[in-house]
Structures are given as structure tokens and as C-alpha cells.
Structure 1
């Protein structure tokens, strides 16, 4: 079984390879944009004091950024999942090429991450991919990051983030925020891998996606196989991008309801309070510390039913 098959992406990927109007914010390391499987992609470099394109192809930051970019934006004939190559990938580097070794999950300060989130929002991102961890924040740092998440909520920009690779119970400042969709890494049987963090907020508001032995692009121009929650996040991000490509008139509330596999009985305005989206949860409360598996086809069918109802109303 392929990783995309586990989360029922193939049918959606056959329907569309994405729309350039759907912009994905990739907050990560630099990307080897000259990789043969990326050169024809819809790549856009934005902001940041670190270079968006790799200058040291053997660096951990470059490998990580290129790998995640490949899952989303590689050409479909590559060895990478290549979920949404025709969507626009906004490359917002947050890690310098000397930041971390290949064996570690990258981390950022709250201030750095908040600035990058604002940059992606201002560049028109519809969804932001955070395959990263957060350095231990101060109270001030948490406030700055909370402001960035709140701005994303107000602007209707979804944020998908890694649950983390410490193999512990409990969330982080990122995954505990009610607007963030945390992602747990699982194997091809749908079981969480040992390294993936779990917890109440993760189980309640998150999703599981493939994160073991995922093959994508290497910063040296080849392919490589890696594991971890960083690898799982872009499966959810890519599914969201494809759904918005197929249903460009869908609201952010509808997209989130569909991807989170909420019941279809909600009214369109259920998440609207005070002119923008509320973070309040609706429907049956999840009790497990393990979130359900992403089901891209079920999300598509839910949005299709919503669209049909709008057209016949």
C-alpha cells in the first residue's frame, strides 16, 4: 500500500493536481528549487532573512525543506507523493542551513515562527504547513505566537502542524492552540509510530497521516526515505489544498469540517461568531489521545454534497 492510499488521496489526486490560485505557506528550511522534480513547479519565494534556495545541499535544513516540498509540489512522475504540484508553494525559510543536523526535527523561536506566519498570510496563503517544533517559549513568546494564530483564524487561513517526535504524551504551544490541526505520524496500518507525540488536544483536534518510511526529494537532487511527524503534515496540507482547488467557493469552515470528518448536519454558519471563525468545537467530542486517520475521499464527498445543496437551493 502506498502512503497516499492509506489516507484515500488517489481519487482526489486523479481529479486535480491543484490550482495555482491555492497558495500553500511552507515554513521550513530552504528548498533545493533546482531539483529536476521541482523545477516545473509553482514555487514562490517570500520574506525571511534566510535564503529560500539551498546553497549548501548537504545541510539538514535544506534536506528537510526540500523533502517536505517534494511531498507537496514534486511532479507527479517523481518518487515523491507529489500531492498538489499545480498549487502555488510559498517558500518561507525559517531555518538557516547550519541550524540542525539531519537526525533532528527543526525548531524555531516563537517570534521567528510568528513573523513567518504573518508573511505567509500577507502573501495570500490559504493553508500553512508547519513541519517543525518550537523552542521552549517565554510567556511573551507565547503571546506573540498566539497573535499570529489568531490572525490566521481571522483571515481564514488553516494551519497544519506536526505533533512532534519525542514519543511523549501532551501537546505544545502550537498543537494546543484550537485553530491548529495537529498531525500524528502513523505506519501503513494506521497505527501511530513510536516517536509520534500523542495527547488530549492532539486527539481532539488533530488527524493521523502517513509518517513512516516516506520517500520524497533529497537536497542533493535524488530521493530519500525518512520518518516522523514532519513527513505526515504535508499529507493533510496537500489534501486541504486539493479540496480547495476542487471547491474554490468553499468557506474555510466547510473545508475544516470536511477534513476533520465532522458530521454533515452542521449549518454553514456554525463556526461564525463576531464576523470571523470561532475556535469552538461542534459535534461529538473526541475522547482518544490518537486522532482519526485522514480520509481525503470522505472529505471530498462531504464538500460535494454541500456544493450540490447550494446549487439546488
Structure 2
């Protein structure tokens, strides 16, 4: 699920996110937003290919979620950078894993993405698609 959130009723947003969690919709949120604050969402921040936080990211050491590649990522219009790019990498990883494990629940997939990560100091862990795959192969078959 992808959406843009502006100013408005925070209760309605919270209720919509609660409903999505109940329906098993995986929510990947770019950066530090109201959507990323919801406990069901997976907040994503951009990092360099080597795993360092991107220059524009102020990484809270206690932050939850994931770091994912978000700098100079190749695309059809050329290389692009941003938390949204990193969130797209996580969403694409989730989609690929779900095609490989179609019987997996959203909760299993979410756990695999978050548990199957490489830990790091100074912020959330790095996305590790291989470890996420291993988690799903063990628990979702």
C-alpha cells in the first residue's frame, strides 16, 4: 500500500492503518511520517550502498524499521535518491518474497523483513533480503 498524507484528521489515518493491519495489508512507509509512527507500518530510511545513513537522514539510535539502499538507485529516468526510494526497495523485496511464498501471511512477511535483518549501531537495522528469505522458507511453508 502506498499513500500520501497531508494535514488532516490523525484519528482517521490511525483507524485506516488499524483496519489495514487487521486485513493483513503490509504498510511500508518512507521516512519519519505519521504513517511510519503506526505500530503495524515498516518505516524505512535511506542509506548508502555500504549501509551508512544517507546524508539527509537524521538516524535516531532508537528508531524502529529498516534502512535500505536509497542513494543513487538506478531507474528509468536515471539515478534517484531519497527515503521514498528506500521504501520502494523494501516494498519490492516484500513483493518478490510474497511471490516466492504465496501462502505467507502479512504478519509472517513483516516479521521476516524485520527479523531477517543485519543489525547495526546508530539506527534501525539494514534490510537483508537473503535472511528474510531464509526466515520465510523456515516458517511460511
Q: Aligning the two structures, in what range does the TM-score lie when normalised by the shorter sequence? A: 0.7 to 0.9
Structure 1 residue 243: deviation in Å? Answer: 1.0
Structure 1 residue 161: deviation in Å? Answer: 1.0
SS in 1 for 2:115: coil
Q: 2:52 aligns with which of 188, 191, 200?
A: 191
CA distance in structure 2 between the partners assigned to 1:197 and 1:180 by the alignment = 19
Asked if the contact 2:48/2:71 (under 8 Å) is kept, the reply is: yes
Q: Which has the higher strand share?
A: 1
Is 1:146 the counterpart of 2:7? The answer is: no
Q: 2:111 aligns with which of 252, 257, 260?
A: 257
Asked if the contact 2:68/2:86 (under 8 Å) is kept, the reply is: yes
CA distance in structure 1 between the partners assigned to 2:88 and 2:2 by the alignment = 7
Structure 1 residue 262: deviation in Å? Answer: 5.7
Is 1:161 the counterpart of 2:15? The answer is: no
Asked if the contact 2:70/2:83 (under 8 Å) is kept, the reply is: yes
1:247-283 CA distances to partner (integer Å, 9 max, x unpaired)?
Answer: 11111121111110269xxxxxxxxxxxxxxxxxxxx
Question: TM-score when scaled to structure 2?
Answer: 0.87
SS in 1 for 2:79: strand
Note the aligned Cα RMSD (angstroms).
2.4
Distance 1:156 1:289, change over 3 A: farther
Question: TM-score when scaled to structure 1?
Answer: 0.41
CA distance in structure 2 between the partners assigned to 1:298 and 1:156 by the alignment = 22
Q: How does 1:1-313 map to 2 (within 5 A)?
A: 128-130=1-3, 134-135=5-6, 137-138=7-8, 141-163=9-31, 171-199=32-60, 203-204=63-64, 206-218=65-77, 224-261=78-115, 290-307=123-140
SS in 2 for 1:158: coil
CA distance in structure 1 between the partners assigned to 2:21 and 2:108 by the alignment = 14
Q: Larger radius of gyration, structure 1 or 2?
A: 1
CA distance in structure 1 between the partners assigned to 2:140 and 2:14 by the alignment = 33
Gaps of 5+ in 2: none
SS in 2 for 1:182: strand
CA distance in structure 1 between the partners assigned to 2:130 and 2:112 by the alignment = 10
